[in-house]
Amino acid sequence: MRLVTAALTASLLLLPACSSDEGKPKGESPEQVMATAAEKLDATSGVDLTLTSAGLPDQGAGFVLVGGEGTAVHPDSFEGTLNVKAMGILADAQVIAQGGQVWIKQALLGPGFRKVDPQEYGVPDPGRLLAADGGVSDLLAETSDLEEGESVRGGEDNKEVLTEYTGVLTAEQIKAVLGMGTGDFKVRYEVDSAGLLRTVEVTGAFYAGEAPTTYTVRLVEYDVTKEISAP
């Protein structure tokens, strides 16, 4: 159950390059672009997101987060399905977070939703992923060594032109939002021409004693409205 619940954290985030500057977000510096992206993330009503992973540890016991999808809504709600691996077996866990409370539904834990306290596992409330203070937008402001990269194709049918930005986050910064990890993390963002954050890719030691793991969150849709309530 520990890593099933830890999977909520992810609830806190690769495409061919193109040479055109078309579609690059406006901004005098990478820091300004990140600041604008953070403001837009804080201002949206909610987002639909997907989570994928690469380089997962081969842990025979316990649970490892694999991926998932869901909806995060301001100010403090989340609903979705996360994929985890337990002793080599893939399983899904339904997650609801609202008003500072979190519930999960997973077959190994029995029928129905079970209320959990993420703090017991050292992980944050997934309902706070969009929090203006302590959410994903904080990572944008805190990223060091920011550099603008290539233009890439993304979005539906690769119709959008996105701009890459890379940088570094510390374990303390990652833990504040995701609740796990040690050492420095490499981060890669993709921002569209409207200044919206579309991709967050984080690589580092999420699992102690294991090789670096990469988690990629794609923000598929902004301005989502959804009523999320306790089960």
pLDDT at 82: 85
What is the DSSP secondary-structure string of the chain?
-HHHHHGGGGG-----EE---TTPPP-SSHHHHHHHHHHHHHHSSEEEEEEEEES----SSSEEEEEEEEEEETTTEEEEEEEEEETTEEEEEEEEEETTEEEEE-GGG-SS-EEE-GGGGT---GGGTT-TTTSHHHHHHH-EEEEEEEEEEESGGG-EEEEEEEEEE-HHHHHHHHS--EEEEEEEEEE-TTS-EEEEEEEEESSTTS--EEEEEEEEESS--------
pLDDT at 20: 46
List, in order of start, the domains of the chain with CATH numbers.
2-13+16-220 (2.50.20.20)
Task: Record the pTM.
Answer: 0.84
Taking the chain (231 residues) in consecutive chunks of 10 residues, what is each chunk's mean pLDDT? 46 40 67 96 96 81 77 94 79 90 85 83 75 89 94 72 95 84 93 95 88 92 95 92
